[in-house]
């Protein structure tokens, strides 16, 4: 039921990156459930991770390894999240890293492990280790599509994005994949996003840029308000494009990179929403006229999380009173409801605390009919704005999540 | 689909209270959609109301009238919430109060108006005014059941509670009705609760007791996290029992009253949850071991609001990892996940940050099978606790809310 999600793009070689996939048989048969990224020596690797205190074992290991050792491999499995697994979760994740490290001759701390799937079950470490040789044999610069499929769980389609930009005679490419369709309310990143570029960039700068751009992309989407235990987003700069290493945010090349990187990251984030569990709508919630951005963010997320708003969106029902009710309960200090305005897909719905004088039910129906819905709430208080992307709430969502484990 | 909701009780006369119902034809045919409470002169009346900034016009009028004039009548309509109606909402609500006031010979400020139903549509003021004479003709001490039915919207059953207690040779009775099944996450009270007693009690004390007890009853339930624009809870002490007016919290009679009043208020609040839209489970979420009660409250509500937890409850699926994931994202400072314990219906599910050593999937299935589910999370940090009551999330919820207006 993905909403307006385009086909997986043709992703060219990103020099310095090879990808291999293999079948470990973790949860579903005939599923390539192990994915390995091989990164060239000297690549800069940055990562952001969930802020959930019950974060998964691999998240803890990634956070530590990134601070100690240059990363050379990403080792990803689906079908098991290795979260809520206590101390043995760490042991099993480390065992997979050590197995891969010994086969490729790097330090185990040069491996970043990632898991996604059911929470609370022991990681089937033997199955994963057994699949590593096949994934290594499969390494190729041309495996982005397979990797996109490999990291899927309840996703219905693989999600990829690629952009190039030219700067002073050189062409740079940025490509990425993402997954996720439920338990999506990223708080730092989403499970899982991997974006690679051939640009040469100092790792601290890449980390800063990743953190900033995540806040305009993955950290602004929500499907069901449930922040995952495994959210991870990784950015890689292989340095193979041949430029002098970018070291400063003021470098014009950094700015050019950020612009294109943001496009890729937003496309990947939006792809997760478009393929949200049970989604029939792609909804942009824009809140303007706040005094502080934090207020705009809060109101936008409250609207995006409201089960009543989401079920009305599912029904294409212009039950806009539910949106105003959320604005009223969102906790904005000194909100003057008489100044609030609401537009949906360009139609003015409410103003002065009530229905617009020109509003007709027919307008509401027209506004709510399309698959793509753009809600704009103006609080009428200040200049700050923020935007969040979400989905509706359908029977299919209940079905998927009531039957996920069975 | 109400869960374990008992039949409406036989409520005896509460001296000083008469109730009348009538059919105004606001939204549905053959529905007594106007209810009037007549209160004796000298009755103490206290009220708590929604904190939603988009609160309905009648809520604003109630708040004002309670501060200026002794209330003599409650005028309630269903089918239209008179919320999101701007300034004209106030005008129409006042018009209904004035009409009733002129017919019964009291000041219009002695009327408390209440509305519930669709948000954002103009109040059909003429229909309500036309129904007032019939409701007055119907006034009787024996109409509690009719009133319980009269205030229903998406409720499937009327909700009532009655208790008596003896104190120093006198018997006191407390009776109440409530309604609500969706847009339920009360923040001060729920739409709508009316509780009357024959006790004589000073109005400020009654207000304080109402506020305290609401925090252990209506303010601890949630169905879908959406705080209504119309939440209102009214307590009436008619004084007809003949006691000397209670004026202090230290009075032993006040303490006896609070104990029984709390039972009535909790029964009415639980009744709303048991009849929650699409509910198939009645779920008690108890969080213990917090350093501050606010943390326990926050974690309990986050669990109660999680769509993933609620859909797992609907499926009777022991997908307890989702509960731990919510605990982890709830924002408790310095949470040590290795000290968290989880019990469901008496079964130890998780400890030390992971699955209990003795846990079997069979235990989880047994724990989740009943209609009544008791979740206990121990944070292992301190002594503070709180409890919240909620429901699961079913297909029926989506159906009800996707079709509510049509």
d(CA B318, CA A136): 37
CA nearest B329 in A: which residue? A52
* Cα–Cα separations (whole angstroms), residue B339 to A86, B336, B351, B354: 10, 6, 7, 10
What six digits make up the tokens of A317? 């029902």
Residue B131 and residue B260 in one domain = yes
Whether residue B372 is found in the same domain as residue B240? no
Q: Which residues contact A220 (CB under 8 A, 6 or more apart)?
A: A269, A386, A387, A388, A389
Please tell me which residue of chain B has the smallest CA distance to A395. Answer: B395
- Assess whether B139 and B287 both reside in one domain: no
Whether A346 shows a pLDDT value over 50: the answer reads yes
Rounded to an integer, the average pLDDT of B230-242 is: 89
CB of B405 within 8 Å of a chain A CB? The answer is: yes
Residue A215 to residue A211: CA distance in whole angstroms = 7
Q: Is the pLDDT of residue A188 over 80?
A: no
- Please determine, for residue B188, whether its predicted confidence score (pLDDT) is greater than 70: no
B262/B247 Cα distance (integer angstroms): 19
State the residue for tokens 């209990």: B356
CB spacing of B229 vs A328 below 8 angstroms: yes
* Chain B residues in contact with A307 (beta carbon < 8 A): 224-226, 307, 393, 397, 401
Q: Are strands B384-390 and B282-290 parallel, antiparallel or unpaired?
A: antiparallel
Q: Per-residue pLDDT for B1 more than 70?
A: no
A406 among annotated binding-site residues = yes
Location of structure tokens 């000083």: B16
Rounded to whole angstroms, the Cα distance separating A296 from A289 reads 8
Dihedral angle of Cα A86, A92, A97, A98, to the nearest 10 degrees: 130
Nearest CA distance, B213 vs chain A (angstrom): 22
Contact A212, A51 (CB under 8 A): no
**Does the residue B398 lie in any domain?**
no
Could you count the other beta carbons within 10 Å of the beta carbon of residue A157? 17
Chain B residue numbers with beta carbons less than 8 Å from the beta carbon of A340 are 54
Q: Is A276 on the interface with B (CB under 8 A)?
A: no
- Cβ atoms B36, B76 nearer than 8 A: yes
Average pLDDT over residues B158-179: 92
CB neighbour list of residue A378: distance below 8 Å, 6 or more residues apart: A287, A288, A289, A340, A341, A342, A343
Same domain? For B224 and B290 the reply is: no
B30 in any annotated domain: yes
Phi, psi angle pair for B329, to nearest 5°: -100, 0
Q: At what angle do helices B293-305 and B321-329 cross, to 10 degrees?
A: 130
Are both A295 and A253 inside the same structural domain?
no
- What was the pLDDT predicted at B86? 86
pLDDT tens-place string over residues B25-52: 999 889 999 999 999 999 999 998 888 8
The residues with which B114 forms a beta bridge, in sequence order, are: B76
Is residue A179 marked as binding?
Answer: yes
Closest CA to A189 of A179, A200, A197, A198: A179
Give the pLDDT of residue B371.
Answer: 94
Residue A189 scores a pLDDT above 80:
no
The 10s digit of each residue's pLDDT in B280-315 is 999 999 999 999 999 999 999 999 999 999 999 999
Are A23 and A32 in contact, with CB atoms under 8 Å apart? Answer: yes
**Cis status of the peptide bond prior to A238, with omega within 30 of 0:** no
Nearest to B396 by CA among B190, B223, B159, B197: B223
> In this structure, are residues A196 and A17 in contact, taking their beta carbons and an 8 Å threshold?
yes
Query: Please, which residues 193-222 of chain A have a Cβ atom closer than 8 Å to chain B?
Result: none
pLDDT (mean) for A238-251:
93
Residue that is written with structure tokens 């926050």 in the block? B298
State residue B189's pLDDT score.
Answer: 52
A302 is in an annotated binding site: no
Does some domain include residue B405? Answer: no
The region of weakest confidence among A23-27, A113-117, A188-192, A311-315 is A188-192
Is the peptide bond between A376 and the residue preceding it cis, with omega within 30 degrees of 0?
Answer: no
- For residue A64, count other CB atoms closer than 10 A to its CB: 11
Radius of gyration of chain A from its Cα atoms, rounded to whole angstroms: 22
Is the CB of A306 inside 8 Å of chain B's CB atoms? Answer: yes
Establish whether A153 is an annotated binding residue: yes
Q: Tens of pLDDT along A322-337?
A: 999 899 989 899 999 8
Count of C-beta atoms within a 10 Å radius of residue A10: 10
Crossing angle of helices B395-402 and A395-403, rounded to 10°: 170
Same domain, B222 and B292: no
A190 is catalytic: yes
- Residues B136, B240, single domain; the answer is yes
Residues A249, A201: one domain?
yes
Tokens 């996450």 belong to: B185
Residue B154 pLDDT level (bands cut at 50, 70, 90): confident
Q: Which residues contact B92 (CB under 8 A, 6 or more apart)?
A: B57, B82, B85, B122, B123, B125
pLDDT band at A233 (very low <50, low <70, confident <90, very high): confident
Rounded Cα distance between A51 and A188, Å, is 7
Q: From the CA of B179, how many Å to the nearest CA of chain A?
A: 18
Per-residue pLDDT, averaged over A116-134, amounts to 94
Beta strand B384-390 pairing with B372-378: unpaired
Residue B41 at interface with chain A, using a CB cutoff of 8 Å: no
A210-224, A278-292, B359-373 — which is least confidently predicted? A210-224
Q: CB contact, 8 Å: A305 with chain B?
A: yes
- Judged against a pLDDT cut of 60, whether residue B142 lies above it is answered with yes
Task: Answer for the pair B389, B270: CB distance below 8 angstroms, yes or no.
Answer: yes
A49 inside 8 A of chain B by CB: no
Residues A49 and A188: beta-carbon distance below 8 Å = yes
| Token digits of residue B233 | 């809870």
**Closest-CA residue to A374 (of A306, A293, A285, A309):** A285
Whether A92 contacts A123, CB under 8 Å: yes
**Which of A227-236, A341-350, B156-165 shows the lowest per-residue confidence on average (mean pLDDT)?**
A227-236
Residues of chain B with C-beta less than 8 angstroms from the C-beta of A229: 321, 324-325, 328
Residue B329 pLDDT: 87
Cβ-Cβ contacts under 8 Å for A391 (sequence gap 6 or more): A3, A223, A273, A276, A278, A279, A280, A281, A282, A283, A310, A313
Q: Average pLDDT of A154-165? A: 91
Task: Give every CB contact of residue B166 below 8 A, 6+ residues apart in sequence.
Answer: B172
Q: Is A396 on the interface with B (CB under 8 A)?
A: no
Q: Which of B54, B229, B325 sits opposite A52 (nearest CB)?
A: B325
Nearest to B372 by CA among B313, B302, B296: B313
Mutate to test the interface with B, among A50, A84, A187 (most CBs of B within 10 A): A84
Residue A11 lies in a domain: no
What is the pLDDT at residue B147? 96
A111, A77 Cβ separation under 8 angstroms: no
pLDDT confidence tier of residue A53, bands split at 50, 70 and 90 = confident
- Residue B1 covered by a domain: no
pLDDT of A404 > 70? The answer is no
Tokens of B60: 């604003």
Q: Is A40 left (phi over 0), alpha (psi -120 to 50) or beta?
A: beta
Q: How far apart are CA A191 and CA B4, in angstroms?
A: 40
What share of chain B has pLDDT > 90, as a percent? Answer: 70
Domain range enclosing B305: 282-390
The total number of structural domains in chain A stands at 2
Q: What is the separation of C-alpha A95 from the centre of its chain, rounded to a whole number of angstroms?
A: 27
Query: What's the token pair of residue A74?
Result: 């990403």
Strand, coil or helix: B48: strand
From CA B181, how far away is CA B192, in angstroms rounded? Answer: 11
- The nearest CA of chain A is from the CA of B355 a distance in Å of 6
Q: Quick one: which H or E segment has residue A302?
A: helix A293-305
pLDDT at res. A277: 86
Which residues have a Cβ under 8 Å from the Cβ of B16 and sit 6 or more positions away?
B39, B40, B43, B196, B198, B236, B238, B239, B240
CATH number of the domain at A382, please: 3.10.20.340
A82 touches A109 (CB < 8 A): no
CA distance A210 to A235: 7
**Residues of chain B found within 8 Å of residue A53, distances taken between Cβ atoms:** 327-329, 332, 335, 337
Residues above pLDDT 70, as percent of chain B? 98
Q: Are residues B347 and B326 in the same domain?
A: yes
pLDDT at B155: 87
**Is A10 inside any structural domain?**
no
* DSSP structure string for A272-292: HHHT-TT---EEEEEEEEESS
Please state, in angstroms and as integers, the Cα–Cα distance from residue A79 to each residue in A85, A119, A127, B51, B121, following that order: 14, 9, 12, 43, 48
Instruction: Tell whether B83 and B220 lie within a shared domain.
Output: yes
B250 and B305 in one domain?
no
Q: Testing the interface with B: which of A186, A325, A394 to mutate, by most B Cβ within 10 A?
A: A325
Q: Are residues A175 and A228 in the same domain?
A: yes
* Domain of residue A144, CATH code: 3.60.70.12
Domain boundary among A274, A292, A308: A274
Lowest average pLDDT, out of A125-134, B143-152, B228-237, goes to B228-237
Written as six digits, the tokens of B182 are 């969706």
The answer to whether position A5 is within a domain reads: no
* A255-278: average pLDDT: 90
For residue A379, give Cα distances in angstroms to A318, A327, A341.
20, 9, 7
**Boundary residue ending a domain (A274, A291, A316):** A274
Mean pLDDT, range A46-74, rounded to an integer: 92
Report yes or no on A3 lying in a domain.
no
Residue at a domain's end among A221, A246, A274: A274
Check if the beta carbon of residue A344 is closer than 8 Å to that of residue A286.
Answer: no
User: Closest-CA residue in chain A for B302?
Assistant: A226
Asked whether the predicted pLDDT for residue B115 surpasses 70, the reply is yes
How do residues A354-374 score in pLDDT, each as one tens digit? 889 989 989 999 999 999 999
CA distance A177 to A45: 16
A389, pLDDT greater than 70: yes
């Amino acid at each position: 039921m993905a909403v307006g999600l385009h086909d997986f793009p043709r992703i060219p070689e990103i020099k310095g990156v090879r990808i291999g996939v293999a079948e470990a048989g973790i949860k579903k048969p005939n599923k390539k459930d192990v994915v390995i990224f091989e990164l060239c020596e000297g690549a800069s690797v940055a990562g952001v991770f969930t802020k959930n205190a019950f974060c998964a074992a691999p998240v803890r290991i990634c956070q530590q390894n990134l601070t100690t050792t240059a990363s050379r491999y990403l080792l990803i499995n689906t079908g098991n999240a290795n979260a809520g697994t206590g101390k043995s979760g760490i042991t099993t994740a480390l065992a997979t890293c050590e197995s891969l490290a010994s086969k490729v001759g790097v330090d185990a701390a040069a491996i970043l492990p990632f898991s996604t799937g059911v929470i609370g079950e022991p990681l089937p470490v033997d199955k994963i280790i057994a699949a590593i040789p096949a994934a290594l044999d499969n390494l190729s610069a041309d495996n982005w599509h397979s990797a996109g499929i490999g990291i899927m769980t309840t996703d219905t389609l693989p999600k990829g994005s690629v952009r190039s930009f030219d700067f002073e005679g050189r062409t740079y490419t940025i490509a990425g994949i993402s997954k996720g369709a439920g338990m999506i309310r990223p708080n730092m990143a989403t499970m899982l996003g991997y974006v690679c570029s051939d640009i040469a960039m100092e790792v601290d700068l890449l980390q800063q840029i990743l953190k900033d751009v995540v806040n305009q992309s993955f950290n602004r989407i929500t499907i069901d308000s449930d922040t995952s235990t495994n959210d991870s987003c990784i950015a890689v700069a292989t340095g193979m494009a041949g430029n002098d290493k970018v070291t400063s945010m003021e470098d014009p090349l950094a700015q050019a990179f950020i612009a294109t990187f943001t496009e890729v990251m937003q496309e990947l984030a939006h792809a997760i929403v478009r393929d949200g569990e049970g989604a029939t709508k792609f909804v942009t919630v824009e809140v303007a006229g706040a005094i502080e951005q934090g207020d705009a963010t809060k109101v936008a997320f409250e609207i995006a999380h409201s089960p009543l708003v989401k079920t009305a969106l599912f029904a294409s029902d212009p039950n806009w009173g539910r949106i105003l009710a959320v604005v009223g309960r969102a906790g904005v200090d000194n909100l003057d409801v008489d100044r609030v305005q609401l537009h949906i897909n360009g139609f003015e719905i409410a103003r002065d605390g009530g229905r617009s004088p020109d509003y007709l039910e027919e307008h509401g129906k027209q506004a709510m009919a399309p698959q793509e819905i753009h809600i704009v709430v103006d609080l009428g208080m200040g200049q700050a704005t923020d935007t969040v992307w979400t989905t509706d709430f359908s029977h299919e969502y209940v079905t998927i999540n009531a039957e996920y484990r069975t």
